[in-house]
Chain A
Amino acid sequence: MSGTDRTRRFEAAVLPHLDAAYNLARWLLRDEQSAQDVVQEAYLRAFRFFDGFRGDQDARPWLLSIVRNSCFTWLRERGREPVEFDEERDSEQRDPALYEATDGPERLLERKLERAQVNAAVATLTPLFREVLILRELEAMSYDEIAQVVGIPVGTVMSRLSRARSMLRTALAAADKED
């Protein structure tokens, strides 16, 4: 029964990454039910494409790229993400004050940042920036792996990540002032 065999291989390769898949979807879609639906659909897609997956490959970036693509399709269908992403236009010009925004090398750690504040600040980032941040910090992926997931060059991963961090600092600083 090659069918069942294939299913077993598939489950062994990708089910261990369910938390990573769900976490990414949950952060991108910011809704528990939608994240569950999209992850389930992404697993089905992955199953259909599993023949193209080599056994010696790491399944996590492969799976997460399918999950993230499903998420962005979902967002796009609901008009929540620009279809074309322009690295220049959509990042630097969005907030020209970004780079001088953080008031000096302030010690973020010294301020008592609440869990809710950090979560809210991460949520203010647009999905493309949130995505690289989540993959890097919460999934501890290498630049290469993130590049595979997102389908962009490693250099773009690094610049996007650095912009995501600037934005996050700004958001955290703003959240702190509100208190």
Chain B
Amino acid sequence: MDPHEDTELSAIVKMQAERHAAPAGLRDRIVTSIRQAETPSRQEPKPQGWRQWLNLGAAFAMGVLASVTVVHFLNAASAQERLAQDVVSSHVRSLMAAHLADVASSDRHTVKPWFSGKLDFSPPVADLAQAGFPLVGGRLDYVGGRPAAALVYQHRQHIINVFVWPHDTRAPTPPAALEAQGFNVIGWEDKKMQFWLVSDLNASDLQAFADQLRGAAIAGSPPAPGKR
């Protein structure tokens, strides 16, 4: 028996408190709104005599698809570079505008909950003070066209920005390591999140930090959801 449970009170709430069922019609409205949301970006509006255009359209689409695939392949590296630029710019901005942290705290139990209600995901926040990388805080940022959690760590006088967002197949793979505008950038992705680290810290120290962070993220990640 779980000592945290209160079976008597639980029974009362379960029996008596109302579980509101979704009203009739809500489901249909949601389905309609989703399909509408899908239409403009995913499908061309269909003209009256759309059938006669379909074959032509399909052939054209195949051509576009083929060239998009090739271009996409060629662009993969530069997309990564562009995102790296974006990440570095964000890092520089965070240092220039004295806007390093929206929530300034070295306590991960303060920083992590702060993001809830602000983002749709919960970034892993590790306590690496023992390893010489104390947490400085966190802030909301916007990188590569998406909201991101920025976690700020420090090593000696060097600030490290860790950008985290949910894994997205459309986004370029983070670089193992690269240098941009004199900053070192290290990234990786796991099943849930992509991580981009930026700092003026030297490459080997930043790599050491990345290893620590990665280790902490694996050790601290909760068991897969839905298994209990």
Q: Which of B11, B167, B226 contacts A109 (CB 8 A)?
A: B11
**Cβ < 8 Å to B, chain A residues 117-155:** 117-119, 122, 133-134, 136-138, 142, 144-145, 147-148, 150-154
Q: Which of B4, B22, B118 contacts A18 (CB 8 A)?
A: B22
- Whole-angstrom distance from the CB of B200 to the nearest CB of chain A? 30
CB neighbours (8 Å) of A7 from chain B are 34-35, 38
The answer to whether residues A44 and B112 also contact, given A22-B20, A168-B9 and a CB cut-off of 8 A, is: no
Name the interface size band of chain A. Answer: 35 or more
Asked whether, in the complex, the Cβ of A108 is within 8 Å of the Cβ of B12, the reply is yes
Residue A80, interface by CB 8 Å:
no
Query: What per-residue 1/0 map shows which CB atoms of B1-37 lie under 8 Å from chain A?
Result: 0001010111111101111111100110111011101
9 additional A-B residue pairs with CB within 8 Å, beyond A21-B22, A57-B226, A115-B16: A22-B21, A39-B30, A49-B166, A51-B169, A52-B121, A144-B225, A145-B226, A161-B4, A172-B12
Asked whether, in the complex, the Cβ of B120 is within 8 Å of the Cβ of A45, the reply is yes
- Please report the C-alpha to C-alpha distance between residue A162 and residue B34 in the assembled complex, in whole angstroms: 38
10 A–B contact pairs at CB < 8 A? A15-B27, A18-B27, A19-B21, A54-B192, A72-B117, A107-B8, A109-B11, A117-B16, A144-B222, A161-B4
CB neighbours (8 Å) of A169 from chain B are 9
- Please report the C-alpha to C-alpha distance between residue A69 and residue B20 in the assembled complex, in whole angstroms: 19
From B22, which residue of chain A is reached at the shortest CB distance? A22
Number of interface residues of B (CB under 8 A): 53
CB neighbours (8 Å) of B51 from chain A are none
The answer to whether residues A66 and B26 also contact, given A122-B17, A142-B228, A144-B223 and a CB cut-off of 8 A, is: no
The answer to whether residues A118 and B16 also contact, given A7-B34, A61-B225 and a CB cut-off of 8 A, is: yes
- Whole-angstrom distance from the CB of B126 to the nearest CB of chain A? 13
Q: Which of B8, B42, B116 contacts A3 (CB 8 A)?
A: B42
CB neighbours (8 Å) of A134 from chain B are 17
Asked whether, in the complex, the Cβ of B225 is within 8 Å of the Cβ of A113, the reply is no
Most chain A CB within a 10 A radius of its CB, from B27, B30, B228: B30
The answer to whether residues A43 and B33 also contact, given A51-B170, A168-B9, A169-B9 and a CB cut-off of 8 A, is: yes
- Please report the C-alpha to C-alpha distance between residue A2 and residue B42 in the assembled complex, in whole angstroms: 9
Where the two chains meet, the residues of B that have a C-beta atom closer than 8 Å to any C-beta of A are 4, 6, 8-14, 16-23, 26-27, 29-31, 33-35, 37-38, 42-43, 109, 112-113, 115-118, 120-122, 165-170, 191-192, 222-226, 228
Residue A73, interface by CB 8 Å:
yes
Most chain A CB within a 10 A radius of its CB, from B18, B112, B115: B18
CB neighbours (8 Å) of A161 from chain B are 4
- Please report the C-alpha to C-alpha distance between residue A110 and residue B197 in the assembled complex, in whole angstroms: 59
CB neighbours (8 Å) of B191 from chain A are 54
Asked whether, in the complex, the Cβ of B226 is within 8 Å of the Cβ of A44, the reply is no
- Please report the C-alpha to C-alpha distance between residue A169 and residue B170 in the assembled complex, in whole angstroms: 50
Residue A36, interface by CB 8 Å:
yes
- Please report the C-alpha to C-alpha distance between residue A25 and residue B43 in the assembled complex, in whole angstroms: 32
CB neighbours (8 Å) of A113 from chain B are 12, 16
CB neighbours (8 Å) of B109 from chain A are 153, 156
